[in-house]
C-alpha cells in the first residue's frame, strides 16, 4: 500500500459544535456515529496540528460568543500556507462576537470565515485568504477556496498523483481525458507529460478554479468543461467525434457506472481508476471487463490513516 505519516495529516474536516447548558460548556469535536452527540475532545492527533492541538482554545472562544448555542459546526480547510475555519451560525454575530473570533484567529494564526446560510453565504470575517497546495514534482501550485473539495492528505495526494501518472505511461502524443477532475488535481500534472488533456467536472466553481490554475501555472494544453457525468453526455463538445487514448477517473463514492459504459466510444485504451469506495470500484470493474478491458494492476492507498476508509487505484488496459 501507498503510505505516509499516520498522524496530523488531515487537512479537511467537519467538526460538530454544541453548547451544553447544564455544564455551561462548549464542545468541539466529531459527531458520534449515527447520533447527534459530539465527542468531547481536547485535541485530535489525526487533524493537522494547526487545529488538532487547539480544540480547547477554539471551544473557549466560542463559549464567549453571545450566540454560542447557535453555532452547530466548523468546517476546516488547512492549506500549505494557512488554516481556515468556516463558522456556521444560525443567528447574526454581534460586533463583539466578531472581535472575539478575530482575537482567537490572531492567537492561533488562522483565518475565520463565516456561514449564515447556504454555500453562497460563506465569507471571510476579515480579509479573504488565498489557499494553496503544491505538486512539487511537477512544479505546480494549486489555489483553492475553503469550500472546495480537496484531498484531505496532501502528502499522500502527491504520491498518488505520481503513481497514477506512472500507471498511465504518458508521452507527448497522448490525448487524455480526466473525468470528475475537480479543480485539476490530476489534470494539470497530466498536462505536463501529455500532448493534451481535457478535464470534466460537474461543479462550475471547480471548473473556473481549474482554468485559473492552468493559466497561473502557464499550462496551455489543458481544457476544462462542465458536465453532469451521470446524465447524457454523448452530444457534448468534448465527447462528440472526439477520441482519447488514455483516461483517469476519480469519482465520488457512488462510482462512475454511467460514464464507464461510454469509455469504448471515446477510444480509451488505458484507464486509471481512483476510488474511495471498494464496493463501487468492484461493480465498475465488472462492467469494464464486460466491455473488453483487462484489470492490469490494482492497489490501495492509505489516504485516511487511523480510519477504516481506504483509497484504491486500478489500471485497466485494452
Eight-class DSSP state of 207: H
For 150-317, CATH gives 3.40.50.150
Q: Does 276 qualify as catalytic in the annotation?
A: yes
Q: Which helix (H) or strand (E) holds 204?
A: helix 204-216
Strand partners, 142: 133
3-state secondary structure (DSSP) of residue 315: strand
pLDDT in tens, the chain (318 residues): 788 888 999 999 999 999 999 989 999 999 888 777 898 889 999 999 999 999 999 999 999 999 999 999 999 999 999 999 999 999 999 999 999 999 999 999 999 999 999 999 999 999 999 999 999 999 999 999 999 999 999 999 999 999 999 999 999 999 999 999 999 999 999 999 999 999 999 999 999 999 999 999 999 999 999 999 999 899 999 999 999 999 999 999 999 999 999 999 999 999 999 999 999 999 999 999 999 999 999 999 888 888 878 899 999 999
- φ/ψ region of 292 (left if φ > 0, alpha if ψ in -120 to 50, else beta) reads left
Domain ranges of the chain: 12-124, 150-317
Residue of 87, 86, 68, 88 whose CA lies nearest to 77: 86
Beta strands 196-201 and 222-226 are parallel
Eight-class DSSP state of 121: G
> Sign of torsion, CA 20 26 32 35?
positive
How much is the pTM? 0.92
Q: HSE-up of 16 (CA within 13 Å, CB side)?
A: 16
For 12-124, CATH gives 2.40.50.1070
Q: How far is CA 142 from CA 50, 252, 263, in A?
A: 20, 21, 28
Amino acid at each position: 500500500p501507498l503510505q505516509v505519516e499516520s498522524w496530523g495529516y488531515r487537512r479537511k474536516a467537519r467538526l460538530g459544535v454544541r453548547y451544553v447548558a447544564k455544564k455551561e460548556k462548549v464542545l468541539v469535536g466529531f459527531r458520534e456515529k449515527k447520533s447527534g452527540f459530539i465527542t468531547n475532545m481536547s485535541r485530535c492527533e489525526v487533524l493537522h496540528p494547526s487545529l488538532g492541538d487547539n480544540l480547547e482554545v477554539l471551544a473557549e472562544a466560542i463559549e464567549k460568543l453571545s450566540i454560542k448555542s447557535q453555532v452547530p459546526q466548523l468546517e476546516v480547510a488547512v492549506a500549505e500556507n494557512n488554516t481556515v475555519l468556516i463558522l456556521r451560525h444560525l443567528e447574526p454575530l454581534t460586533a463583539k462576537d466578531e472581535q472575539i473570533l478575530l482575537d482567537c484567529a490572531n492567537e492561533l494564526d488562522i483565518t475565520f470565515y463565516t456561514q449564515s446560510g447556504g454555500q453562497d453565504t460563506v465569507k471571510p470575517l476579515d480579509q479573504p485568504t488565498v489557499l494553496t497546495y503544491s505538486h512539487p514534482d511537477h512544479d505546480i501550485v494549486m489555489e483553492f477556496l475553503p469550500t472546495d473539495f480537496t484531498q484531505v492528505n496532501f502528502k499522500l495526494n502527491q504520491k498518488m498523483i505520481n503513481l497514477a501518472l506512472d500507471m498511465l505511461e504518458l508521452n507527448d502524443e497522448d490525448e487524455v481525458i480526466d473525468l470528475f477532475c475537480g479543480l485539476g488535481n490530476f489534470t494539470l500534472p497530466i498536462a505536463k507529460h501529455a500532448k493534451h488533456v481535457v478535464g470534466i467536472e460537474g461543479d462550475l466553481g471547480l471548473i473556473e478554479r481549474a482554468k485559473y490554475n492552468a493559466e497561473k501555472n502557464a499550462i496551455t494544453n489543458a481544457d476544462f468543461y462542465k458536465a453532469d457525468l451521470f446524465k447524457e453526455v454523448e452530444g457534448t463538445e468534448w465527447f462528440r467525434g472526439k477520441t482519447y487514448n488514455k483516461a483517469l477517473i476519480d469519482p465520488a463514492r457512488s462510482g462512475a457506472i454511467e460514464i464507464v459504459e461510454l469509455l469504448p466510444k471515446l477510444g480509451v485504451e488505458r484507464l486509471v481508476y481512483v476510488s474511495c469506495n471498494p464496493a463501487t470500484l468492484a461493480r465498475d470493474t465488472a462492467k469494464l471487463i464486460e466491455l473488453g478491458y483487462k484489470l492490469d494492476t490494482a492497489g490501495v492507498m492509505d489516504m485516511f490513516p487511523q480510519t477504516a476508509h481506504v483509497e484504491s487505484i486500478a489500471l485497466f488496459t485494452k
